[in-house]
Structure 1
Amino acid sequence: MGICASVASEIHDDAYGQENAVYYREIGNTNGVQVIGSTYSHPGSKGLNQDSAILFQGYGLEDGAFCGVFDGHGKNGHIVSKLVRNRLPSLLLNQRNAIAKISKSALNTSSPKQSERVNGELVVPSKNFMKWREAGLSAFKVMDKELKLLDELDFSCSGTTAVAVVKQEEDLVIANLGDSRAVLGTKTENGIKAVQLTTDFKPGVPEEAERIRNCNGRVLALKEEPHIQRVWLPHEDSPGLAMSRAFGDFLLKNHGIISIPDISYHHISPNDQFLVLATDGVWDVLNNDQVISIAASADNEEAAAKAVVDASAAAWKRKFPNSKRDDCTVICLFLQTRINMICT
């Protein structure tokens, strides 16, 4: 699997525009190029839309893709989510290209390969996955450092989640930070089935809570919202972060909040139809099966993301009519031509 090294040097922070959700193509002539998905973002009722998203077609390889959704929070959450969206794709590819130049003996191969079963067979990640994994860990670390060095912006109590997927040929590399989510729609005898590819990293997850408490952070819920565990400083009732991993949030970085992503692998099988990445505003009101069904039933690839967002907005009004609606952002990345899809 070759990597197009020239791509990274051509990416600029302003190339994506200022929209919350953008579709970017790294292709010379886009005439006749197949649309591989869609992205859409809709503001909630809390103020500025703090979500950002990018679907990058032609990433790394001509048929490769990068997709990522970023859910900002705090006073400057809308800024940090866009900064990460605009910078992370090129930073990741730069790291991957640098690693490709290093000899095998110099690579850190101590991390065990994560295998998975596809159609009953055990699939081991490719060597390229191990390089992308190392690149991801490095890129996320550098990204967080770059945010901290922006002295003119205060990210002490502002940050963003990130869930990003890199597609290279039949490999999917999934990097997850926070409580946005990636779900796969795969074809079965009974229609399209939802397969969750990421873990929602919230303070209530036992392993996450243990790490935070070991760093003297506090994990507890407010009386008025007992279902939401939050992270607090050791001796202050602030800031009350509702996730356990994020970019930014530097006030809590010494108390268990980390910017280390969980990076996993999935080999694309002929039955795998599409991916949905979405911020938690979607998952708060729709479950995995509902989202996958909506995306699969959309008229075409370009309409899929908006269909999920529209359904989410309607579900918010129906389920929580007296609550402020969260921002909702979705990417749908199609892995097969839709003519092969079976929707029930």
Structure 2
Amino acid sequence: MGNCCNQLDQQESSATTEYNRSEELNVIKRNYTGKIIGTSKVCFENTSPIKLQNTQGFLGKRSVKLHGCIIPGLDPRGETDKDCQDNYIYFIQDNAILCTLFDGHGKEGQKISDFCIDFVAKFFKKNIKDFAYNAKETLTRMLHKCDEKLRRSKVPDEMAGSTAVAIYITSTNIFSASLGDSRAIIATLSDTLIPVPIPTHRFYKKILIKRNLKPVSLTTDQKPNHEEEFTRIQAAGGCVEQVTDNFGKPIGPYRVWMKNKDYPGLAMSRSIGDRIAKRLGVIATPVCHDFQLYNTDQFIVIASDGIWDVMENIEVVNFVEKFKKGCGESTDLYPAKPDNSSIARMLCEEARFRWYGIIEAEDVMIDDISCIIVDFEDISGAMKTQVKERNVEAFRSMAIAPQHNHANTSINEDDNETKD
């Protein structure tokens, strides 16, 4: 992910980091065999950020800032109208924080993510004391009940649903619950330099930071080809396979299918909604974790796959560390830069910038991009604190032998969680 390799060492991103409204890209053209035969110029206007939020509060005696942003996706060629299906909500109350983020998929994905936000707001208000008493159980119950209430609502969820990430933070602990492939990480001080991925296209900024930070996962992605998930889906009568192209080559993520059918094509093993996939072993039971919060912890990033599909955990951590202190209140002005943007907006804009490289190589749409950043007050002398290693429950991925030929005919690779 880089501009020109010989330019990467000649510039620091802080001097040039701004994002424009208008873009012009050169998209690779291929013939029927996949051979590159040229490029085509695509010009477009970016969507404006929405739901820009900045809030301050406290976790015990430690001050904290919360920033949120959503950037709607778009089709650069303007051939497809795209609803924004990402949404989030957060609360600071009684020296605790609840953050939830949802990424809808399918034709009714926007309605479902909106439904989830409304449900969480009501649930938190009614169950504040339960979070303080037993956070993991309450987070699980919240997502289960959200799925149940959606099923009884008038929102069509047979072939549509949403991911979910819910993070509850106190002055001493972090509790997480997740469904699907939206993700949360925490950045903590480290004495080890973690390498960043090698750039693969020109849309890349070299990020140099003064402190070593380590990304620690607070959630784990849930995919159908993870061994435990696959076993459950197979036992329920589901089939897990990739889509194949016109030459029979598997492409894209593994998906959940009804045997001998071309639906639902869900690219995750747990979710809210997706009623047909629920008959095939997909469940709404979140994967939960709890962790101690240390003085060395600097910030949490909760985001949809619009960020994680184009940036590795360490890249996100380094970017936030680099720019968060220089950011101000968030606006929707362009060009977007630190003095008119929050760190949440800057991260979303950087992710969209990375999407340009995928557009040029694969001619795809830009996914919805959303995040919440929880920025903790920096505590001097924090490295002296004894920190225990924190790990999330890991799933082991597995290769799956093809059983059927799911041709690549109806999958929208921008909104690729499920077939429409």
Which bin holds the TM-score, normalised by the shorter protein? 0.7 to 0.9
Show the counterpart of 2:214: 193
| 1:26 CA drift (Å) | 11
* Cα deviation 1:235-293 (Å, max 9, x = unaligned): 42112011111101111112111111111001111101100011011111110000111
Deviation, structure 1 residue 20: 5.9
Amino acid at match of 2:109: G
Q: Which residue of structure 2 lines up, in the alignment, with residue 103 of structure 1?
A: none
Q: Which moved more, 1:283-292 or 1:137-146?
A: 137-146
Q: Matches of 2:346 and 2:169 in 1, distance apart?
A: 23
Mapping 1:228-243, distance limit 5 Å = 228-243=253-268
Does structure 1 residue 175 correspond to structure 2 residue 177? yes
- Residue of structure 2 equivalent to 1:3: none
Q: How has the CA–CA distance of structure 1 residues 214 and 95 changed in structure 2, closer, same or farther, with 3 Å as cutoff?
A: farther
CA change 1:274–1:24 in 2 (3 A) is closer
Is 1:314 matched with 2:353? yes
Q: Distance in 2 between matches of 1:202 and 1:92?
A: 28
Q: 1:99 to 1:285 in 2, by over 3 A?
A: closer
2:84 paired residue among 45, 49, 63: 49
Percent identity between the aligned chains? 29
| Deviations 1:45-102 (CA, angstroms, capped at 9, x unpaired) | 251110001232x23x1x31111211000111001111112222442563463588xx
Call closer, same or farther: CA 1:280–1:35 in 2, change over 3 Å: same
Q: Secondary structure at the match of 1:211?
A: helix
Q: Deviations over 1:202-261 (max 9, x none)?
A: 112121111111110111001135231011123421120111111011111121111111
The change in CA–CA distance for 1:21 and 1:243 in structure 2 (over 3 A counts) is farther
Q: Distance in 1 between matches of 2:348 and 2:378?
A: 22
Name the count of aligned residue pairs: 286
Summarize the alignment of residues 109-124 of structure 1 with structure 2, pairs less than 5 Å apart: none
1-side partners of 2:270 and 2:371: how far apart? 20
Contact 1:22–1:53 (CA under 8 A) maintained in structure 2: no
Work out whether 1:82 is the aligned partner of 2:114. Answer: yes
Shift of 1:338: 8.3
Cα 1:82–1:99 shift into 2, 3 Å: closer
Q: Which amino acid aligns with 2:371?
A: V
Seen in structure 2, the aligned counterparts of structure 1 residues 338 and 269 have a Cα distance that, compared at 3 Å, is closer
Which sections of structure 1, spanning at least 5 residues, go unmatched? 1-18, 28-33, 101-127
After TM superposition, what 4+ stretches of structure 1 lie above 6 angstroms from structure 2?
24-27, 338-342
Q: TM-score, normalised by structure 2?
A: 0.63
CA contact (8 A) 1:137 1:261 kept: yes
1:156 corresponds in structure 2 to 158
Query: Shift in Å at residue 21 of structure 1?
Result: 3.7
Give yes or no for contact 1:37–1:301 (8 Å, CA) kept in 2.
Answer: no
Deviates more, 1:226-235 or 1:206-215: 226-235
* RMSD across aligned positions (CA): 2.6
Q: 1:24, 1:54 within 8 Å by CA — same for their partners in 2?
A: no
Match of 1:132 among 113, 131, 135: 135
- Provide closer, same or farther for how the CA distance between residues 45 and 306 of structure 1 changes in structure 2, counting only shifts above 3 A: same
The structure having more radius of gyration, on CA atoms, is 2
Q: TM-score, normalised by structure 1?
A: 0.76
Q: What letter corresponds to residue 40 of structure 1 in structure 2? A: C
Counterpart residue number, 1:142: 145
**2:367 maps to what in 1?**
326
- SS at 2:251's partner residue? coil
- Report whether the alignment pairs 1:293 with 2:318: yes
Report the Cα distance in structure 2 between the residues aligned to 1:218 and 1:42, rounded to whole angstroms. Answer: 34
**Match of 2:270, as an amino acid?**
R
Output the CA distance in 2 between the equivalents of 1:227 and 1:212: 19
Q: Which residue of 1 aligns with 2:270?
A: 245
Match of 1:64 among 75, 88, 96: 96
Question: Amino acid of the residue matched to residue 244 of structure 2?
Answer: K
